Amino acid sequence: MSRKRIVIIVVAAVAFFLGAITLFVLINGDRFKSFALESMNEKLSTELSVEEMGLSVWAEFPMVTVDLKKVVLMGSVSHSGATADTLIRANSLGVALSLWDVLFGEPKIDALVLEDGVINVRELKNGTWNTSILESDSASKPSKLTISKITLRDVKMVVEKRSGEIYSGVISDAFINEGGLSVSFNDITEANGDVLENILPLNGYVEAQLKIGENNDFELLIDDALVNDIPFSGSVKYPYSSETGNDTWEIKARTSRLRINMLKSIWKGPDVFKGWSYDGSVDVAVHVTDRKTQVVWSVKEDDFAISPNLTGLALNKTGTISAQGKIDYLFSKSNVAITVESIALNSNGIRLIASASCSDFKRKPFYLEGEVNIDASSSYSSWVPSLQGVEWASLPNSGDLFLKGGLQVSATGEISHLIASITSSNLEGSLDASPYSIKNLSASYKRGQLDVGKLDFNWSGNKGELSASIKSIDKAIKGGEIVGEIDLSFESIVVGAVLTWWDNLHLDGEHREPISKASLLPNGSDLAIQIESKRLFWDELALTSVRSSLKVGESRMKIVTLKADGLQGSARVEGSLRPGGPGWVLGFFGSADGVALPELFLTYNNFGQSALRSEHLEGAVSAAGTINLGWDLSGEFVSKAVKTNLEIDINNGRLKGVEIFDEIADYLKTHRLIAPLVDPEDLRTRLSDIKFKSLESPIYIASSKTTIPFLKIKSSAMDVTVEGVHSFKGDIDYTLGFALRDLRNSREVEFGSIEDDGLGTMFFLAMDGSLNEPIYSYDREAHKSHRRKAFDEEAQRIKEAIRNSGGTKNSQSEDGDNEPAQKSKPDKKQKSKGLNDLDDEDF
């Protein structure tokens, strides 16, 4: 037999066989249809409705398929009497029977094919789902459904939770059998929820192994899956509890080596990825149950970069980062909990190791704890945009700073419960172009209180230790009151460096803008400051053993005490800085004792004049009284606001080689009225070295003028009175009074002996102009005033003598026993005349 004939016979036999099978199925079609529908209804606990049925032998060969058209399957209910909703609505549900069983045994349903439909899975009020639609098998009545394969094509699936969230997607193709599963899906989205709020529609496929248990529980082991561009593996479990009737489920997914470009395929909004980059990968594990979702993540250590678009800085910030943690989402409360088990960052000299947690991201505070190591020699401050310019130049540029602690951040962003410790063995930098160092820094912050242990500092000659305790630093950071104590113990203080820094800090090339209110600290502040220093330098002034106690409030600084030694003397004052006058008034009251006059004049460069210099002087001066200085609100010193009221006492004084006395002798020599009475050379010799044991006088300063109301000098050379005014500009208006007996070289002259009767035998010399260029003239007004005063005093003495000789019993006169007070210098009606112009009242 030829090969061709054999092929024809075989094809004919097969065709006959297939035709016979087809004929058999068609003849028994109604029976198979009824069997399929009855078997389905027998297994289902809910209603199944079908508009029409068809029969196919070859659609799912080698299975005979009963096609149920326009199928509606109702879902389960939470309780008896409740209205059921639709679980499945499909154009076609194919019920496949095994051809072998159809031909040679009892037919059984072996597979289901669902096409062009919708599956609506809904959570019921009692917490169960509407998928409990199968009747339990009984031993007496075995099930006719032995489904081993399920096929889905173009089926939309909707899952609706009772809290309102709706998840939907399309299963384009799915094949499920006893051993495995293969599903392709697209457009999985979420509505009315925030789990997938920022996620793009999900598309992909899943290849998995399937294990189905006796109680319709199953386990899906995902070997290969892809969602958008993200590959993952995992498992799905759906155990059914027959005791409680509750359905529980569990989904696990894992992905490793997840990179930024993969995340872009799943995350909404490309703006999230703008301005930063990360070169490493992330491992993510997701665990979803019917109660919550947990995401465990791990960021591998690798490089990152942040652009100026995010930081506001001029340059990209780069470094390395690693982290791990988890996110928990509780479905019943829509609660997101975040835990960062560890994060390590190293960038621009900042090394951070920290952990964080928050039990409810929207309602509960965020807890953060960790430690930071800052390398001051790096560009660490570039992370803080506000630390630029002068502030940046003042930050440490050498050394390490360690910070350790924790804080709490509320849902509104408010920081609280901050606990921190700050330590450093050595920090160095530059302040106002002068290097500084901070050593042995140890500080702590807890419950709003900042405590600073003794740290050593050294800057521009200011060297010492600082310790502090600020009780309200948290309020101070927010602009509230500052309450606490600061202790400063100096080896040395250089005031000039501090004042220069202050001026440079505020000027920046322009004048300070005026301030509308005199204020030192915020309202309610109470800051105590203790200062001790072995040495203090202010320009040429050098003091020792400086001790001060200050109390600073909102608008007042009280100087409780200020003590200092210097210029061979000592001083003790009290006072305050307070609003007043031009803006601020610094007032002192106290005393200074034993200050060496030569050193005082040398220290202050002879107070800006050359007539009376340090080499002319000997003696010690003491002073007691008040001093008031003034500044405007912008910090500018106001010379017109200076006011003093001092009592001056000079002991063991001496004036040597004062050139101005030579000028006085020369002036008297050239005027004929007084020249006959004066030996200029004798006077010059006596005035070249004047000694006096004690000198007392008040001195007043006001309106930019220094006033000496009356000063009587009893010296080895002669007695001299001085009164007058000296302005801050250097202008002088003094009157010097000399007794005529002191101007003569002898008591005898050609006119005979001149007796000093106390009634006008004084000569008054006016000094005007400036100390450096004085102008001398005879002060006739002062002479007249002196004569009137002498007559008044003599008249008073006569009255007293008459009253006493009259036998009066009064021990005191009505006017009192005290000496009349010395009148201050009268205002001159005009400039004094020259000595060549005579007047009846002269002498």
Phi, psi of 761 (to 5 degrees): -80, 50
Query: In DSSP terms, which residues pair with 416 in a beta bridge?
Result: 408
- Which pLDDT does position 810 carry in this prediction? 47
DSSP calls for 211-227: EE-TTS-EEEEEEEEEE
**Burial per residue of 670-702, b for 16 or more beta-carbon CB atoms within 10 angstroms, e otherwise:** eeebbeebbbbeebeebbeebebeebebbbbbe
The pLDDT score that the predictor gives to residue 16 is 55
One domain for residues 746 and 795: yes
Residue 369 lies in a domain: no
Mean pLDDT in residue range 315-322: 83
- Structural domain tally of the chain? 4
pLDDT at residue number 716: 74
**Helix/strand/coil (H/E/C) assignment for every residue in 332-355:** HHCEEEEEEEEEEEEECCEEEEEE
CA 26 to chain centre: 86
Burial of 162 (0-12, 13-18, 19+ CB in 10 A): middle
Cα(432)–Cα(526) distance, integer angstroms: 29
Q: Report the C-alpha gap between 715 and 678 in whole angstroms.
A: 19
Residue-wise pLDDT for 640-667, tens only, equals 888 999 999 999 989 898 888 888 888 8
In a domain, 505, yes or no: yes
The burial of 723, by beta-carbon neighbours within 10 Å (0-12 exposed, 13-18 middle, 19 or more buried), is given as buried
User: Do 61 and 200 belong together in one domain?
Assistant: yes
Q: What is the mean pLDDT of residues 574-597?
A: 92
544 and 580 both lie in a single domain: no
Which carries the bigger pLDDT value, residue 14 or residue 126? 126
Does residue 582 share a domain with residue 535? no
Query: Would you say residue 371 lies in a domain?
Result: no
> Contact at 8 Å (CB) between 589 and 626?
yes
Same domain assignment for residues 538 and 685: no
pLDDT at residue 360 in the model: 86
Cα dihedral 410, 414, 419, 421 sign: positive
Q: Is the pLDDT score of 39 beyond 50?
A: yes
Report, as an integer, the average pLDDT of 441-452.
90
Write out the H or E segment, with its range, that includes residue 685. Answer: helix 680-687
* pLDDT tens-place string over residues 380-389: 666 665 555 5
State the pLDDT at residue 171. 94
Which residues pair with residue 392 across a beta bridge? none
Give me the amino acid identity at 326.
K
Q: Are residues 525 and 499 in the same domain?
A: yes
pLDDT for the residue 651: 92
8-state DSSP, 814: T
The number of helices, as runs of H, and strands, as runs of E, in the chain is: 13, 39
pLDDT at 224 over 80: yes
Task: Please choose, from the candidates 552, 518, 694, the residue with its C-alpha nearest in 3D space to the C-alpha of residue 620.
Answer: 694
Label residues 67-87 b or e (16+ Cβ within 10 Å = b).
Answer: bbeebbbbbbbbeeeeeeeeb
Higher pLDDT residue, 335 or 203?
203
The answer to whether residue 198 is domain-embedded is yes
Q: Which run of H or E residues covers position 181?
A: strand 180-191
pLDDT, position 672? 56
Hey, how many other C-beta atoms are within 10 angstroms of the C-beta on 659? Answer: 12
Is residue 406 one of the residues assigned to a domain?
A: no
Helix pair angle (3-27, 29-43), 10° resolution? 60
Pair of tokens at residue 821: 């007070």
Position 228 in a domain:
yes
Choice among 21-35, 627-641, 663-677 with the minimum mean pLDDT? 21-35
245 with 122, same domain? yes
Confidence of residue 831 (pLDDT cuts 50, 70, 90): very low
Residue-wise pLDDT for 770-825, tens only, equals: 877 888 888 778 778 777 777 777 788 888 888 887 654 444 444 444 443 344 44
- Residue 574 and residue 557 share a domain: no
| Structure tokens belonging to residue 830 | 């005009």
Out of 17-26, 89-98, 412-421, 594-603, pick the least confident. Answer: 17-26
251, 273, 293 - which closes a domain = 251
The pLDDT assigned to 320 comes to 93
Closest to 245 measured CA to CA, from 136, 119, 331, 141:
136
Residues 86 and 53 in one domain: yes
Residues 6 or more apart whose Cβ sits within 8 Å of residue 194: 334
Q: Lowest-confidence range among 127-131, 599-603, 731-735, 786-790?
A: 786-790
The answer to whether 530 touches 549, Cβ cutoff 8 Å, is yes
- pLDDT at residue 755, rounded to an integer: 46
Same domain, yes or no, for 178 and 39?
yes
Q: Which region among 241-255, 432-446, 453-467, 583-597 has the lowest average model confidence (pLDDT)?
A: 241-255
Would you list the DSSP string of 32-101?
A: HHHHHHHHHHHHBSS-EEEEEEEEEEEEETTEEEEEEEEEEEEPP-SSTTPPP-EEEEEEEEEEEEEHHH
Closest CA to 113 of 159, 61, 47: 61
Q: What percent of the chain has pLDDT over 70?
A: 80
pLDDT at 129 over 50: yes
For residue 21, the tally of other CB atoms under 10 A from its CB is 18
**Total residues found in the chain within this entry:** 843
Give the residues across from 408 on adjacent strands.
367, 416
Q: Give alpha helix (H) positions in 307-459.
A: 308-311, 390-394
What is the structure's pLDDT at 558? 95
Residues 66 and 200 in one domain: yes
Reported pTM? 0.67
Among the listed residues 833, 714, 830, the one whose alpha carbon sits nearest the alpha carbon of residue 765:
833
Give the residue-averaged pLDDT of 92-115.
73
Q: Average pLDDT, stretch 739-749?
A: 60
Residue 183 pLDDT > 80: yes
Identify whether the C-beta of residue 101 lies closer than 8 Å to the C-beta of residue 45: no
The per-residue pLDDT for range 453-511, each reduced to its tens digit, is: 889 999 999 999 999 999 877 778 778 889 999 999 999 999 999 988 887 876 554 45
Rounded mean pLDDT of 271-289? 88
For residue range 686-737, what is the model confidence (pLDDT) as tens digits?
888 888 888 888 988 888 888 888 888 887 777 788 888 988 888 888 888 8
What Cα–Cα distance (Å) separates residue 685 from each residue in 327, 596, 714, 716, 745? 101, 26, 17, 12, 11
Confidence of residue 621 (pLDDT cuts 50, 70, 90): very high
Phi, psi of 121 (to 5 degrees): -100, 125
Integer-rounded Cα radius of gyration of the chain: 53
Is the pLDDT at 409 greater than 70, yes or no? yes
Given this model, what pLDDT does residue 808 score?
Answer: 47
Among 216, 251, 286, the domain-final residue is 251
What range defines the domain where residue 68 resides?
Answer: 22-131+143-251
Query: What is each CA distance from 417 to 373, 408, 451, in whole angstroms?
Result: 21, 6, 16
Q: Which of 541, 566, 591 is the last residue of a domain?
A: 566
C-beta of residue 485 within 8 angstroms of C-beta of residue 466: no
Encode pLDDT of 46-86 as tens digits: 888 888 887 776 655 566 778 889 999 999 888 888 888 99
Which residues are CB-contacts of 325 (< 8 A; sequence separation ≥ 6)? 296, 297, 338, 339, 340, 341, 342, 343, 356
More confident residue, 760 or 446: 446
Beta strands in 247-388 (DSSP E): 250-258, 276-278, 282-289, 292-306, 317-330, 335-347, 350-358, 366-375
Q: Is residue 502 assigned to a domain?
A: yes
Whether residue 730 sits in one domain with residue 603: no
Rounded to whole angstroms, the Cα distance separating 486 from 237 reads 66
Q: What is the largest CA-CA distance in the chain?
A: 190
Question: Coil, strand, or helix at residue 474?
Answer: helix
User: Inter-axis angle of helices 680-687 and 659-669, to 10 degrees?
Assistant: 160
pLDDT at 565 over 90: yes
Question: How high is the pLDDT of residue 821?
Answer: 39
Structure tokens at 210: 């399937």
Which pLDDT score, from 0 to 100, does residue 708 have? Answer: 85
* Chain-centre distance for alpha carbon 246: 54
The average confidence (pLDDT) of the chain is: 81
Residue 424 resides in a domain: no
pLDDT at position 508: 52
Compute the average pLDDT of residues 173-189: 89
